[in-house]
Chain A
Amino acid sequence: MTLLLVENLAKGFGGVCAVDNVSFRLEAGELLAMIGPNGAGKSTCFNMVNGQLRPDAGRVLLDGKNIVGLPPHDIWRMGVGRTFQIAATFGSMTAVENVQMALISREGLLYRMWRRADRHAREEAMSLLERVGMADQAERPCGILAYGDVKRIELAIALANRPKVLLMDEPTAGMAPKERIALMALTRDLAHENGIGVLFTEHSMDVVFGYADKLIVLARGKMIAEGDRDSVRDNPRVREVYFGAGKTAGLHA
């Protein structure tokens, strides 16, 4: 069964069609890149998949189950992790506490009012930080970390729930080129090891063409292409709409 199946998704804001009839599928262990110019509807798509926005039409099937209309916190429990375009972590908590928070939530202990939270599942949280290379920053408050580090914390948080699907909105924005490669390599390894399906958006074409197994291209809310790297790269419509007609190089959007 397909891990994540999106069918005919649509969303409008005040008469403007932000996402129009978008369909795609994501298999376990696969990295799917969603690309398109600013305002193409990528974040809106993400927000509909993880429940932040309710689509006007269409279905989102996770393991065959329609999750449209569920709130984000329920969709997360079903195995959809998420990182944000502008990284969102808990600024008044340390890096490790951020991850612990997600672990507490996973285990359904949110309403416990007595035992100390910072002693909960510390080892697991540390090993997740280790995975993203942030173990040495574990005790620093997230509010003062460098932006690239915060993005990695976000990944650790997203992994805490052992997700089936990972939605990553510009995971490497604000990182140095070397860091980007390291983070995407890590993501790919994680996806392959654990059979996680990763849907990500990205402006860096190096990252996209370096790591994505498959691509979908959006423009003005519509899907204009879909396929593997080469077929998308060579698709004339993509070249026209996305990269600008006649240009072959300059793959940064």
Chain B
Amino acid sequence: MSAAGLLVQLLNGLADASSLFLLSAGLSLIFGVSRIVNFAHGSLYMLGAYVAYSILERIGGTPLGFWGSVLLAALAVGAIGAMIEIVVLRRIYRTPELFQLLATFAVSLIVKDAVLAIWGIEDLLGPRAPGLAGAISILGRRLPQYDAMLILIGVVVLAGLHLLLTRTRWGVLLRAATQDRDMVGALGVNQALLMTSVFCLGAFLAGLGGALQLPREPANAGIDITAIGDAFVVVVVGGLGSIPGAFLAAVLIAEIKALCIALGTIALPFGLTIAFPKFTLVAEFVVMAVVLVLRPWGLLGKPQAAAVSAGPPETPLAPAGRAQKWLASAVFVALLLLPLLAGGNSYAIVLAIDIFVGVLFATSLHFIMGPGGMHSFGHAAYFGLGAYASALLLKAAGLPMPVALLLSPLGGGLGALLFGWFCVRLSGVYLAMLTLAFGQIVWSIVLQWDDLTGGSNGIIGVWPSAWLASKTTYFYLALVVCAACVLAIRRILFSPFGFALRATRDSSLRSEAIGIDVRRIQWIAFIVAGAFCGLAGGLFAFSKGSISPETISVSRSIDGLVMVLLGGVQSLAGPVIGAASFLVLQDQVARDFEYWRAALGVLILILVLAFPGGLVGALRFRLRRA
């Protein structure tokens, strides 16, 4: 590759960086001020593209029409963002951390189906920008005029935001709120209005990004997911709340990808080759992991004050009372009888096995998230590692199935041992995003390592031994394993280690000052959670007979978060009830509604607004009042 070629590739990278920046700037603003992990940001971006398409269809023929349409679409999305803030988020600011993630997740489900219902199933390729349809010749290569324009727009938006934040009263208030929201409230500023306006601006920027992307990419119902992933990475790499940081991160990531693609496949000595383009699959996540390990607050971020949960303080753990124990035993006995009542091959059995796996998955996540205070956005990694470990031990190593299952915690545990060591050096959202990065790295390795993992098709023939193969037997196996593990996790939480773990969450300062090695406790907690999660993965693999990289996907990690948050992060029964209700709901809704994702989203939203402490919190509250 020539130097000229490389230079133009870097320009191409800049155009990509500009779209990445436009996508992420709004998220960074919103997060900086509200600390809300706005999962619907990708959906707003997607809406920007669709709305722009519809407007362009009508008035997009002229340059004025085109740019007018883009602006109108962005304004429309800004209005939708403000509406989401007013209708949903405003009601749940004073809830345990991350609970808002659940609400925005529900919104994203609704938006996805709404887009399909309104704009149909086909990808919609927008028109080229009038007057910018051609290309500029640079060094014998052709750079689309629109790409050059995009680079310009990125810089203009960066400068505009910078001026807005530094030169206006609103911007100063916003930056103050980024430091301390309550202080701004104390200054007599209308906090609600400030929040709404931030959300509106953030959504406007997302909509603008989506609309501007239309000449480069068809509007389709899959962009929300890719967009949200990219946006989070850029925001975190740049440093939360830092607009210049987001720009820098976007440039860094886009240029690294451009470089990989430009390098192509390079032959090394000894007949080895490196296919650099394949690295683009996971490049941004590797960049994020490296940046977070070296600079725990991102490129231009500042150390955050310890996150103070807006929710009520957690109450001390109370050992199960007589009534609770009685109830738990009754449920267990009822479950033991289920195959007799429902029939050994009934669907109730099948669904119950999935619920047991989900319960164990969610409980292991809750262990580090609730008592540990470490939010993991990549918990599926340990699930998948457990599943792959048992599948490979069975298929490749030829171990008997029960042994392979018993060893599945090793897969999850070893993964957590490695990743946890890095993760516990961070805190808050940075920690969460590092777990996500590791999850994606594991996912991409499993996807690429065809010879070992079977690539995207996965591994088949992962069935239980003959004596465990009947549904009823496997049901009992899963029930016993799941119940034993949930009890063991509970037991650990009441043990000195569990207390120490909660101590590190409550106050790492105090913990260190009474001889608790905070990082080591957190690291071990990671490993414990990873091991239990790995066992859930093993149980899953043998219940399905096959596994594929989907077991490690982000969506599974998100499902775990949803289960824990839905049940209530502040309660030990939360993940159990959250997982069971989420899976039953999903199963039922997927069958009864054509637009089942939207229906599920609406249900979650209702639950979120009605029970802001999670299901268990709501139950507790009722009981206490009764």
**Hey, which bits of chain A sit against chain B, CB under 8 A?**
50-52, 71-74, 76-77, 81-82, 84, 88-94, 97, 100-102, 104-106, 109-118, 120, 141, 143-144, 157-158, 160-161
In the assembly, what is the distance between CA of A160 and CA of B315, in Å? 23
Contacts of A50 in B (CB 8 A): 513
User: B347 interface residue, CB < 8 Å from A?
Assistant: no
Q: Are A110 and B315 in contact (CB under 8 A)?
A: no
Q: Are A73 and B516 in contact (CB under 8 A)?
A: yes
Instruction: Say which one of B38-46, B156-164, B502-510 lies at the interface with A.
Output: B502-510
Nearest chain B CB to A158 CB, angstrom units: 8
A52 to B, closest residue via Cβ? B512
In the assembly, what is the distance between CA of A97 and CA of B365, in Å? 25
Q: Are A73 and B512 in contact (CB under 8 A)?
A: yes
Number of A-B contacts (CB under 8 A): 125
Contacts of A101 in B (CB 8 A): 499-500, 503, 514
Given contacts A93-B502, A101-B500, A111-B524, contact A116 B494 (CB under 8 A): yes
Q: Are A72 and B513 in contact (CB under 8 A)?
A: yes
Q: Are B514 and A89 in contact (CB under 8 A)?
A: no
Q: Are B496 and A120 in contact (CB under 8 A)?
A: yes
In the assembly, what is the distance between CA of A105 and CA of B510, in Å? 12
Contacts of B496 in A (CB 8 A): 104, 109-113, 115, 117, 120
The 3 closest A-B pairs by CB, nearest first: A143-B313, A88-B510, A90-B506
Given contacts A114-B491, A143-B313, contact A157 B497 (CB under 8 A): no
Number of interface residues of B (CB under 8 A): 33
| CB contact between A93 and one of B316, B517, B518 (< 8 Å): that residue | B316
Nearest chain A CB to B315 CB, angstrom units: 6
Contacts of A81 in B (CB 8 A): 513
Given contacts A104-B500, A110-B500, contact A88 B491 (CB under 8 A): no
Q: Are A105 and B515 in contact (CB under 8 A)?
A: yes
The dominant DSSP class at the B interface is helix
**Hey, which bits of chain B sit against chain A, CB under 8 A?**
313-317, 319, 491-492, 494-500, 502-503, 505-507, 509-518, 521, 524, 528
A89 to B, closest residue via Cβ? B510
Contacts of B528 in A (CB 8 A): 113
| Cβ contacts A to B, 8 pairs, < 8 Å | A73-B517, A73-B518, A76-B513, A90-B503, A92-B314, A105-B515, A143-B313, A144-B313
Residue from A51, A117, A141 with most neighbouring chain B CB atoms (10 Å): A117
Q: Are B516 and A110 in contact (CB under 8 A)?
A: yes
In the assembly, what is the distance between CA of A158 and CA of B509, in Å? 13
Q: Are B510 and A84 in contact (CB under 8 A)?
A: yes
Nearest chain B CB to A223 CB, angstrom units: 25
Q: Are A82 and B503 in contact (CB under 8 A)?
A: no
Nearest chain B CB to A105 CB, angstrom units: 4
Contacts of B315 in A (CB 8 A): 92, 141, 143
Residue from A92, A97, A117, A143 with most neighbouring chain B CB atoms (10 Å): A92
Q: Are A161 and B495 in contact (CB under 8 A)?
A: no
Nearest chain B CB to A49 CB, angstrom units: 12
Given contacts A93-B506, A105-B500, contact A116 B495 (CB under 8 A): yes
A108 to B, closest residue via Cβ? B515
Q: Are A117 and B495 in contact (CB under 8 A)?
A: yes
Q: Are B514 and A160 in contact (CB under 8 A)?
A: yes
Contacts of B491 in A (CB 8 A): 113-114
Nearest chain A CB to B417 CB, angstrom units: 15
Given contacts A92-B313, A92-B316, A101-B499, contact A161 B515 (CB under 8 A): yes
Contacts of B511 in A (CB 8 A): 73
Contacts of A51 in B (CB 8 A): 512
Q: Are A113 and B513 in contact (CB under 8 A)?
A: no
Given contacts A109-B496, A144-B313, list 8 more A-B pairs with CB under 8 A: A52-B509, A82-B513, A88-B513, A89-B506, A90-B510, A102-B515, A104-B496, A113-B492
Q: Are B497 and A111 in contact (CB under 8 A)?
A: yes
Contacts of B492 in A (CB 8 A): 113-114
Nearest chain A CB to B510 CB, angstrom units: 4
In the assembly, what is the distance between CA of A144 and CA of B514, in Å? 21
In the assembly, what is the distance between CA of A117 and CA of B500, in Å? 9
Contacts of A93 in B (CB 8 A): 316, 499, 502-503, 506
A140 to B, closest residue via Cβ? B316
Q: Are B495 and A92 in contact (CB under 8 A)?
A: no
Nearest chain A CB to B41 CB, angstrom units: 32
Contacts of A109 in B (CB 8 A): 496
